[in-house]
Amino acid sequence: MEIAQIETLLQNPDSQERLRALTALRNYDSEVAVPLLLTKLQDPEFLIRSFAATGLGKKQNPESFAALLNLVKSDRDPNVRAEAANSLSLYGEVAVSHLVTVFRQDDHWLVRGSIIAALVEMQFPEALFEVCVCAVAGEDPTVRSAGIDGFGLLANSLKKSQALEQLLMLKNDEQWSIRLDVVRAIKKFEDPQAKAALSDLMQDEDHRVVAAVLETSL
């Protein structure tokens, strides 16, 4: 699609046409694409803003990075903020501290889940550990579960001892689903404390937790 046609479609009242134009920008370099992507960050449709955020993650330059930082902190829709977080993660190490800060400031489960998943892919164990500690301290069950899974993924990292310590503190949580998550995470650790915790959880009052422990021994 020619750039003149893209510019026209970006102003079309039909959101599907605007989406088509944004998709077409993938064929252009950052110098051309970024200024046009930036024009859609205030679009009334959250899907348009999300697509623009996706584009800014792929068309990287200082302007797109700055725009994503603003978007992840200020957009009214959590879907857009989550997509902006995903795009920021594509910038690598320079984005890590910003993602941790956003995690602490934004308590929406979708945004937090996206950041945990992004940090897992980025392989920055210290940052992942930090957000997982924050995650399990919260009240949202989805985020707590993601945090526990994150601790499990640190079993072969430099943060393994601290991650195991966090899991051991959660093995007696009042929610059976959290204890179940702990079983699945803790089985990744080759450590006497982990094995002892699994033995304790074999006596859990909930049969689903016990079944999960039994699965680890097969």
Q: Are residues 162 and 199 in the same domain?
A: yes
Q: Are residues 91 and 166 in the same domain?
A: no
Q: Are residues 93 and 131 in the same domain?
A: no
Domain boundary among 65, 99, 133: 99
Per-residue pLDDT of the chain (218 residues; tens, 9 = 90+): 899 999 999 999 999 999 999 999 999 999 999 999 999 999 999 999 999 999 999 999 999 999 999 999 999 999 999 999 999 999 999 999 999 999 999 999 999 999 999 999 998 999 999 999 999 999 999 999 999 999 999 999 999 999 999 999 999 999 999 999 999 999 999 999 999 999 999 999 999 999 999 987 76
Domain boundary among 99, 131, 156: 99
Amino acid identity at 49: R
> What pLDDT score was predicted for residue 216?
75
Q: Give CA–CA dist 118/74, Å, rounded.
A: 19
Q: Give CA–CA dist 60/45, Å, rounded.
A: 23
Q: Are residues 76 and 159 in the same domain?
A: no
**In-domain check, residue 105:** no
**In-domain check, residue 67:** yes
> What pLDDT score was predicted for residue 8?
95
What residues make up the domain containing 63?
1-99
> What pLDDT score was predicted for residue 72?
97
**In-domain check, residue 108:** no
- Are 127 and 96 a contacting pair, CB within 8 Å? yes
Q: Give CA–CA dist 136/181, Å, rounded.
A: 11
**In-domain check, residue 194:** yes
**In-domain check, residue 27:** yes
**In-domain check, residue 22:** yes
**In-domain check, residue 215:** yes
> What pLDDT score was predicted for residue 218?
61
Query: Of 36, 97, 107, 96, nearest to 67 (Cα)?
Result: 36
Task: Indicate the number of domains in the chain.
Answer: 2
Q: Are residues 89 and 136 in the same domain?
A: no
**Whole-model pTM?**
0.91
Q: Are residues 55 and 89 in the same domain?
A: yes
Q: To which residue do tokens 């003149």 refer?
A: 4
- Are 15 and 47 a contacting pair, CB within 8 Å? yes
Q: For position 85, which CATH number holds?
A: 1.25.10.10
Residues 6+ apart with CB under 8 A from 177: 141, 145
Domain boundary among 64, 99, 134: 99
Q: Give CA–CA dist 218/9, Å, rounded.
A: 58
**In-domain check, residue 118:** no
